[in-house]
Amino acid sequence: MKVVIAPDSFKESLAAADVASALAAGVLQARPDARIDLCPMADGGEGTVAAMVAATGGRLVTADVFGPLGAPLRAQFGLLGRRAGAGLPGEVGLSGALASDGDEPSGEPTAAVIEMAAASGLALVPEDQRDPRQTTTYGTGQLLLAALEAGVRDIVMGIGGSATVDGGAGCAQALGVAFTDAKGQPCVCGLAGGGLADVADFDLAGRDPRVAESRIRVACDVTNPLLGPEGAARVYAPQKGATPEVVEVLEANLARLADRIRRKTGLDVATVPGAGAAGGLGAGLIAFAGASLCRGVQLVAEAVRLRDRLTGADLCLTGEGRLDAQTAHGKAAFGVAEIARAAGVPCVCIPGVAAVDAPAGAFAGVRPLVAGEVTPRLALQHPAMLLRQRAAEAVTELAG
């Protein structure tokens, strides 16, 4: 029996590699003779850098940046290697099997991969300080500049797991874009969601010229637009500490920024699918950096050769922290299920929690950790143990 294990991370609980290892232990508990292929996944959020660096024999680079609240921190991004293989859309060569920790980078880097969460992520903000009026993507812009300094002009940026709703204005400032208020005065450096109310105009003249020379692709894990009931503020700001009143302030501020972008550049970023990702960073990267948006899970699946690895498999196991309606909007577990279905392999999802609106029909089965006598608190305390148990149940049922 061959089992491909391709989960996403369980945010603020377990990394994707740890989830995969726990699921593997459960499979072997039920079928000691099983052949297991560990294939940790990501969708543009947490784990994207690790997956793509490993897949290409690349390396990690550390940069000094500012965090979402302006405190200095050290963040990492990846430089991809030159291993030949399946190929990332956009002509970046990728390998087959994941590289081991001992693999050396092969040649000069072909591209860089960045997770905005490394500099501007929600996990970097203590729970009692979470307020998207105060958080900025400035540090993400600094990471992008560090990648340019490394000599690459092909950049993939994962934008999941953000603490921000600044429309990418903070990131743009780090790149050299100048924002001014109604009096023509410079806006505060490190624009946050609340500061967007002051933006009257912007100027791209001072932007680092290397940005225009580069291909920047945004790996989105959602398809939400910038504005409206499914937009950045109304869907995601509450998860980042916004009250209902603050949500409406942020919605108005993002609408103001979108209007300034449309007037200045002719680009209407308000309804672009994925523009609402990371609190509007998707929209900002389109407008201020000439970026394009794509599904993050597709980029990572190419990097780890998921389609090839599913060949001959009897079962695929995937999972994520919370399975809900948002899963179908580009999340890793849904993408894995699509690829497995195309390969004719049943895919079982083992999430932490399955909401009532979860797209259960996309999977051959759904076995959440939180079920029966298992409470959310218990699942958070013992995720690895419960993952093993659910994986053993899934394999036993399939074999049964």
Give the pLDDT confidence of 106-143 residue by residue, as tens digits: 457 778 999 999 999 999 999 999 999 999 999 999 99
Write out pLDDT tens, residues 151-166: 999 999 999 889 999 9
In this predicted structure, what is the pLDDT of residue 107? Answer: 59
Residue 238 has φ and ψ, to the nearest 5°, of -60, -30
Of 331-335, 342-346, 348-352, the range with the lowest mean pLDDT is 331-335
Can you give the pLDDT at residue 94? 23
Q: What percent of the chain has pLDDT over 70?
A: 93
**pLDDT score at 89:** 29
pLDDT at 95 over 50: no
Nearest one of 380, 309, 365, 374 to 333, comparing CA atoms? 365
Distance CA 376, CA 236 (A): 21
User: Which helix or strand (DSSP H or E) is residue 50 part of?
Assistant: helix 48-56
DSSP states along 329-391:
TT-HHHHHHHHHHHTT--EEE--SEE-TT--GGGSSEE--SS-TT--HHHHHHSHHHHHHHHH
Average pLDDT of the residues in 42-62: 83
As a whole number, mean pLDDT of residues 61-80 equals 97
The domains located in the chain, with CATH, are: 2-40+311-399 (3.40.50.10350), 48-296 (3.90.1510.10)
pLDDT at 82: 65
- Residue 93, pLDDT score: 24
How high is the pLDDT of residue 148? 97
The 3-state DSSP class for residue 200 equals coil
Residue 323's pLDDT band (cuts 50, 70, 90)? very high
Answer yes or no: is pLDDT of 341 > 50. Answer: yes
| pTM, rounded to two decimals | 0.76
In angstroms, the CA 142 to CA 119 distance is: 9
Which residues neighbour 377 within 8 Å (Cβ) at sequence distance 6 or greater? none
C-alpha 159/C-alpha 168 separation (Å) is 11
What is the C-alpha to C-alpha distance for residues 263 and 376, in angstroms, rounded to an integer? 47
The reported pLDDT for the residue numbered 55 is 67
CB 156 within 8 A of CB 102: no
pLDDT(96) > 80: no
User: In percent, how much of the chain has pLDDT > 90?
Assistant: 78
Please state, as a whole number, how many other Cβ atoms lie within 10 Å of the Cβ of residue 349. 29
Is the pLDDT at 355 greater than 90? The verdict is: yes
Separation of alpha carbons 306 and 372, rounded Å: 33
Question: Across all residues in the chain, what is the average pLDDT?
Answer: 90
More confident: 74 or 301: 74
